[in-house]
Amino acid sequence: MKKIFILLTSVFMMSVVISCKEEMSASSEFNEFEIKCQDGTVRKGGIYLPPGIKSKDKLPVIYMADGLVFKECGFKRMLDSLYDCGTISPVVVACSYENKKTVPGYKLAFRNAEYIETLAKNDNTLAQLYENHYNFFIDEFIPYIEKKAPVSQSASDRIFFGTSNSGDFGITLSFRNQGLISEYWCYSPVYSDVSEYGMLSAETSYKICWGSKEEVGMDDYFPSLLKDIRKRGGKVNSWVYNGGHDRDWWKYWFSEELIKRFPAKK
């Protein structure tokens, strides 16, 4: 039975986590990198390593598309606070940075073309951009993180996190490369269409939320998307919050999922 939880409060608690200390933990790390890709481009990203990890650890990892959000919206500070408070157990966050530049000849960003499969279906240029990014994420980004960070290579220890268009990319990824990642946190995906896909052959779970103040027409879209995913065997936990298409809300729900998914060991 579908459960949708509506956040009734209008209080905007965007100081997501209040630190237990005045100074953030200096023992976590965020290291940025560049990858020279097979398609001739250079893509950037970053790796968040929690405090107290060892080189022999094989930690769970969150693969984050739209990874610049991690830098721009204070995700490191939020994570450091959770560790300072002893709230969560160690998890690595691997960020793939989005390309915000405009595609020549189009009125959309590379980010849109690279994340939204539906845009690629009737345009060869956009289709190539989508496939280049898809192949990068699977064949170059994830292997790079596994080489550079102490992360597990088990699908059950991999989580995908994306918001808006990158959430759409995650949903498509879950159907195109089944068994690679077992859990998808996709917040406010707005262009997903899985109607042409068959049943999921690997156990796959989804955390999908959206705001009650999203754009007009979304009220029908989201329930239909959830129905299509469930019909194909996906396990979906969904909820509605009292807000819009907003990074601060996505950050808040990301922190909430971290606390539930990776509680500190007592």
- Tell me the pLDDT tens digit for each residue of 200-250: 999 999 999 999 999 866 888 999 999 999 999 999 999 999 999 999 999
What confidence tens digit (pLDDT) does each residue in 119-159 have?
A: 998 899 999 999 999 999 999 999 999 999 999 999 999 99
Write out pLDDT tens, residues 52-79.
888 889 999 999 999 999 999 999 999 9
Q: Tell me how far apart the alpha carbons of residues 83 and 80 are, in angstroms, rounded to a whole number.
A: 5
Q: Report the distance separating Cα 219 and Cα 236, nearest Å.
A: 17
Average pLDDT over all residues of the chain: 90
Q: Report which DSSP code applies to 264.
A: P
Domain definitions of the chain by residue range: 29-261
The radius of gyration of the chain's CA atoms, rounded to the nearest angstrom, is 18
Considering the domain delimited by 29-261, tell me its CATH architecture.
3-Layer(aba) Sandwich (3.40)
128 Cβ contact list (under 8 Å, min separation 6): none
Q: Could you tell me if 119 and 113 are in contact, meaning their C-beta atoms sit under 8 angstroms apart?
A: yes
**Where are any strands of DSSP class E within 50-119?**
61-64, 92-96
DSSP per-residue letters across 181-214 = -SEEEEES--S---TT----SS--EEEEEEETTS
Q: 213: which 2 tokens?
A: 């103040």
**For the chain, first and last CA: distance in Å?**
33
Strand order from edge to edge, sheet including 205-211 = 29-36, 42-49, 92-96, 61-64, 158-163, 183-187, 205-211, 235-241
Task: Please state the rounded mean pLDDT for residues 162-174.
Answer: 98
Tell me, what's the pLDDT at 27?
86
Could you give the C-alpha distances from 211 to 4, 146, 180, 190, 230, in angstroms and in order? 12, 34, 29, 11, 20
Q: How far apart (Å, rounded) are the C-alpha atoms in residues 208 and 240? A: 9
Is the predicted pLDDT of residue 44 greater than 90, yes or no? yes
Q: Give yes or no for residue 16 having a pLDDT over 60.
A: no
Burial (CB count <10 Å: 0-12, 13-18, 19+), residue 103:
middle
Cα–Cα distance measured from residue 4 to residue 53, given in angstroms and rounded to the nearest whole number = 36
Backbone angles phi, psi at 123, to 5 degrees: -145, 115
